[in-house]
Amino acid sequence: MAEFTKVEEPYTSKDGVRLVWQGIDEDDSDVVILGKDELDSLLEILSKEKTGKVELEDEFSSILVNSDVSQFRLKDERYLEADTKLLREKLLEYMKIPHEVQSIDVKSNEFYPTSEKSSESKKVESKKQSLLSAILGSQEKKISESEYFRIISTRRSTRKFDKSHLVEDWKVDKILAAADTAPSAGNFQGFEVFYIKNKKIKQALVEAANRQPYVDAPIVLVFCMNPSRVKMDFPPETLSKFSLQDATLAAAYAQLAASALELSSIWIGMLDEEKVKKILGTDLQPSSILCIGYPDKRRPPKSRRKLRDLIHVLES
């Protein structure tokens, strides 16, 4: 059974926490996300070393805090336990530590999300948030889960951007944060993203990408493999393959995030790796360039082959 191990900041919402259980296997891990009110109720019980029950907002789940073990009775017949002492320690410790976002120090070759440049009051408000959750949870217009299928089914690549329509910084922040949420081999994130703002570098990339002019797009992201981050005991070829997959997935997540934000993009795979490395001043192998902006006009999605031609079902 998985063991309760840590408390983390919640993704996508401003308040609350994620309680993490870790099993032997990565897939055995489990998470319970508590909203602000649920967290407050749990803290009330734990901080006073009392016993009690917290009803969760789904109106089905509950946490029973006993003096030794706390029982999490969750939806879908999920059941988890946590050592009450450990839960108390971790939660109280977490609440004390200010999870402050980094201060702003703009250097041309680094990415500092706009949400960091918010006013003093906003900074105080986001004290307990990680940078990632601050970005993903920012802005009024949030995309609901039910929108996901509309977004993937209407996405269409664009090679003509409306350059008069500037891409808002907060949208770029969300796209980059989305790349950070992609799964990766062993969660080592074997990739890096180069966010190209410099006009001359964009022009050089056009040249390195088989002279495809649309590489000079409003937003240009170069996804590179970084196998040295993948600390797994496998042959170099495997680590290299993992980092290619990591970089590709991250780019795909960024591409979908762009669509969700009413932007369009073009994926560039046709590039001269050595030229791109030289332009970026890196030894890391580029996997793709993602060019993003507002499209000059909205186009319908391209058709695909028939689903039944694509899917090969193997039964017994």
Ligand X SMILES: Cc1cc2nc3c(=O)[nH]c(=O)nc-3n(C[C@H](O)[C@H](O)[C@H](O)COP(=O)(O)O)c2cc1C
Q: Which residues bind ligand X (CB under 6 A)?
A: 156-157, 159, 212, 266-270, 302
Task: Give the separation between CA 209 and CA 276, rounded to whole angstroms.
Answer: 8
Q: At closest approach, how far in Å is the CB of 228 from ligand X?
A: 24
- Which tokens in the block code for residue 240? 């290299």
**CB-wise, 113 or 190, nearer to ligand X?**
190
> In 3D, which of 312, 210, 201 has the Cα closest to residue 266?
210
**CB-wise, 127 or 156, nearer to ligand X?**
156
In DSSP terms, which residues pair with 64 in a beta bridge? 53, 71
**CB-wise, 18 or 160, nearer to ligand X?**
160
Q: At closest approach, how far in Å is the CB of 307 from ligand X?
A: 15
**CB-wise, 129 or 288, nearer to ligand X?**
288
Q: At closest approach, how far in Å is the CB of 303 from ligand X?
A: 9
Residue with nearest beta carbon to ligand X: 269
Report yes or no: 254 and 290 within 8 Å, Cβ to Cβ.
yes
Q: At closest approach, how far in Å is the CB of 174 from ligand X?
A: 20
**CB-wise, 10 or 286, nearer to ligand X?**
286
**CB-wise, 92 or 270, nearer to ligand X?**
270
Report yes or no: 8 and 17 within 8 Å, Cβ to Cβ.
yes
In DSSP terms, which residues pair with 83 in a beta bridge? 69
**CB-wise, 56 or 276, nearer to ligand X?**
276
Task: Give the separation between CA 302 and CA 154, rounded to whole angstroms.
Answer: 9
Q: At closest approach, how far in Å is the CB of 263 from ligand X?
A: 13
Q: At closest approach, how far in Å is the CB of 195 from ligand X?
A: 19
Q: At closest approach, how far in Å is the CB of 144 from ligand X?
A: 23
**CB-wise, 31 or 270, nearer to ligand X?**
270
- Which tokens in the block code for residue 90? 């971790």
> In 3D, which of 68, 60, 54, 50 has the Cα closest to residue 17?
54
Helix axis angle, 84-96 relative to 36-47, nearest 10°?
120
Q: At closest approach, how far in Å is the CB of 140 from ligand X?
A: 29
